[in-house]
Amino acid sequence: MNLGAKHFHHEDREEIPRKTNPCSTRGLKARNSRTSYAALKGPLFHKSVRAIALLAVFLVTLAPLYGQVTFDRLVNSSKEPQNWLMYSGDYSGKRYSSLDQINTSNAKTVVAKWVYQTGATGKFETTPLVADGILYATAPDNRAFALDARSGRPIWMYQRQVPSDIRPCCGRVNRGMAILGDKVFFGTLDAHVIALDAKTGAVRWDVEAADYRTGHSFTVAPVAVKNLIIIGVSGGEYGIRGFIDAYDAETGQHKWRFYTVPGPGEPGHETWEGDSWRVGGAPAWNTGTYDPATNQIFWPTGNPAPSNRGEGRSGDNLYSNSLLALNADTGKLNWYFQFTKHDEHDWDATQVPILIEKDGKKLIAQADRNGYFYVIDRTNGKLISATPYGKTTWSDSKDAEGRPVANKQASPTLEGHTVCPGALGTTNYMPPTFDPQTGLFYVTARDQCDVFSTAPQPYEAGHAFYGSAYFPSEEAKPYLGFLKAIDPTTGEIKQKFQHTSPTWSGVLSTAGGLVFSGDAEGNFIAFDAASLKPLWHFQMGGAVYAGPMAFSVGGQEYVAIAAGSAIYAFGLP
């Protein structure tokens, strides 16, 4: 669960006024005119009318293809740094942009270029996508929209009515979309997967994946792989049985489901006591990564349910708090790695698992909510190293594989006692970045301890199922927030910046030698990637709960982030 520092609630059922004609082809026209201009600059321009007519035919034929985001483009997204085609920027999850127009020498001159107000309230967690000059994003309460990425002007808007009795544990949030072909895809709070026409926002298909009344919801940005849309469910606080689903991008047809809690007869089922697997949780609410070379997706899972009480579900509780390597075509499990066995602290492992290469080795780096930074061999799921990157008290030893083992004092008690990190974790869902230029992994970190106490609770369908209560520890104040730069080779913290208070912002690195992140007080900050010294900041007037991204239009680099209830885009004057 991604319980924020503050809970938000809002039921906004106002009609969204359409600010643009829904039939507008503005985006298409802009792109076509750009295409024509590029082509017309060639010698054909001076040829006969017939040649121009031929060209027109050619362009008309080409038009439907241009703007289509093919799987090939997604695999090779690094070749088009002007676009940001998925949640973490590329399949490896690095959240790195090779744009360098904004860099360490001019960062102090950066200005706000536009602001788009969504009218939504609550935590704004989305990472926008940009494809060919159009920005696509989601917002709280099942909103989705497309903007002119250069001006911030809306092209279309969509909102699916939110039922009044939805059950999102931690706010009516959404973290983003996937794009493939001529459609964008997102999940809703009432557990639907929806494909919208990328040009108009019209619903192309709409599938109910699960019943929201039993606590299922979607908050995650899906991933598009080949012809599939892959998405993981939320609801670990409601005793759901977690799953990762794949849908045919063209039709919405359900292609496969991987249950993150194995059923009877399946390997791992024996790690659950009695019938506890039926309500075992293990949601999959943060976006995974993908390795095209092996056609594997790497998807992290969340807490077992009830989230803070282990009694009644003795065992490791697979595959809660794990990283799953699945065959993208079939959803078949290749390997798993469990970060926290038999979790009693709500330490979802739902952090973006970043694919990195080091000395020819194919690795995954994940800064886990339990306070350890893990490096895993991604060919087999074997642990390479686990190093604390924040304040932890729950483990004093490691097992034979090098995995931290919980100590006797870690379990919550009836009276309650203090464990670090607290339930919010050393980090949470906020996406980290890996900067290939510095070779460092940058992550938002929090030092906070909580008092965990148990509170036995029967399962009731659709009701919160925590089995405990936890409270920020007054003794452990103040809670500290950091941006930390970790060397994945050693686990060593190379640099850190201490915020005024813990933040929920993700991190972006760029080829300009910069790292961007936000703070809880509403600042967006450009740091020198080497020193983590702030070079520039802008007060956006609303706390940051999202990850930044970068794109370029018309030769101008932009860095964008959601904050408060708006999306902000920044660039050089």
Catalytic machinery residues: 346
Site for another protein in 370-399 (CB under 8 A): none
**Pick from 200, 137, 184, 190: which is nearest to 168 by CA?**
190
Residue from 19, 382, 477, 533 touching another protein (CB under 8 A): that is 477
Cβ nearer to another protein, comparing 388 with 522: 522
Handedness of CA 551, 95, 201, 61 (dihedral sign): positive
Residues 526, 501: Cα–Cα separation, whole Å: 17
Pairing of strands 111-117, 96-97: unpaired
Contact 560, 135 (CB under 8 A): yes
To the nearest whole angstrom, how small is the minimum distance from the Cβ of residue 277 to another protein?
22
Residues 108, 1: Cα–Cα separation, whole Å: 37
To the nearest whole angstrom, how small is the minimum distance from the Cβ of residue 275 to another protein?
21
To the nearest whole angstrom, how small is the minimum distance from the Cβ of residue 307 to another protein?
11
Q: Which part of the chain contacts another protein (CB under 8 A), choosing from 18-26, 110-118, 280-288, 469-477?
A: 469-477
Site for another protein in 301-360 (CB under 8 A): none
Site for another protein in 221-280 (CB under 8 A): 237-238
Cα angle: 367, vertex 347, 474; to 5 degrees = 105
* Interface with another protein: number of residues (CB under 8 A): 41
To the nearest whole angstrom, how small is the minimum distance from the Cβ of residue 33 to another protein?
42
Residue from 67, 81, 89, 122 touching another protein (CB under 8 A): that is 122
Cα angle: 94, vertex 555, 551; to 5 degrees = 25
Cβ nearer to another protein, comparing 337 with 568: 568
To the nearest whole angstrom, how small is the minimum distance from the Cβ of residue 172 to another protein?
7
Residue from 101, 462, 487, 496 touching another protein (CB under 8 A): that is 462
Tell me, residue by residue from 483 to 522, as one string, x for binding to another protein by CB under 8 A and - for no binding: ----------------xx------------------x-xx
If binding is defined by CB under 8 A, does position 466 make contact with another protein? yes
One-letter amino acid of 470: Y
**Pick from 529, 521, 426: which is nearest to 95 by CA?**
529
Tell me, residue by residue from 4 to 23, as one string, x for binding to another protein by CB under 8 A and - for no binding: ---xxx--------------
Cβ nearer to another protein, comparing 144 with 451: 451
Cβ nearer to another protein, comparing 8 with 259: 8
Cβ nearer to another protein, comparing 302 with 331: 302
Site for another protein in 412-431 (CB under 8 A): 415-416
Residue from 321, 426, 523, 565 touching another protein (CB under 8 A): that is 523
Structure tokens given for 491? 């686990």
Q: Which part of the chain contacts another protein (CB under 8 A), choosing from 25-33, 103-111, 198-206, 451-459?
A: 451-459
Neighbour-count burial for 139-165, b at 16+ CB within 10 Å, e otherwise: bbbbbbbbbbbbebebbbbbbbebeee
To the nearest whole angstrom, how small is the minimum distance from the Cβ of residue 281 to another protein?
14
Secondary structure of 502-544 in HEC code, one letter for each residue: CCCCCEEEECCCEEEEECCCCEEEEEECCCCCEEEEEECCCCC
* Residues with Cβ within 8 Å of residue 565, at least 6 apart in sequence: 117, 118, 119, 120, 121, 124, 139, 542
Cβ nearer to another protein, comparing 292 with 534: 534
To the nearest whole angstrom, how small is the minimum distance from the Cβ of residue 119 to another protein?
18
Residue from 151, 471, 489, 490 touching another protein (CB under 8 A): that is 471
Within 10 angstroms of residue 456's Cβ, the number of other Cβ atoms is: 11
Cβ nearer to another protein, comparing 20 with 453: 453
Phi/psi-derived region of residue 240, left when phi > 0, alpha when psi is between -120 and 50, beta in every other case: beta
Residues 46, 40: Cα–Cα separation, whole Å: 9
Residue-wise DSSP of 72-86: HHHHTGGG-TT-B-S
Residues 1, 308: Cα–Cα separation, whole Å: 11
* Residues with Cβ within 8 Å of residue 71, at least 6 apart in sequence: 180, 224, 225, 226, 227
Residue from 73, 453, 459, 572 touching another protein (CB under 8 A): that is 453
Residue from 106, 534, 556, 572 touching another protein (CB under 8 A): that is 534
To the nearest whole angstrom, how small is the minimum distance from the Cβ of residue 451 to another protein?
8
Residue from 260, 322, 392, 468 touching another protein (CB under 8 A): that is 468
To the nearest whole angstrom, how small is the minimum distance from the Cβ of residue 573 to another protein?
20
Handedness of CA 313, 369, 428, 380 (dihedral sign): negative
Site for another protein in 141-200 (CB under 8 A): 165, 167-172
Q: Dihedral through CA 289, CA 294, CA 296, CA 300, nearest 10?
A: -50
Residues 118, 564: Cα–Cα separation, whole Å: 10
Cβ nearer to another protein, comparing 511 with 532: 532
Length of the chain: 573
Q: Contact positions toward another protein, by CB under 8 A?
A: 7-9, 122, 165, 167-172, 215, 237-238, 415-416, 451, 453, 455-457, 462-464, 466, 468-469, 471, 474, 477-478, 499-500, 519, 521-523, 525, 534, 537, 539
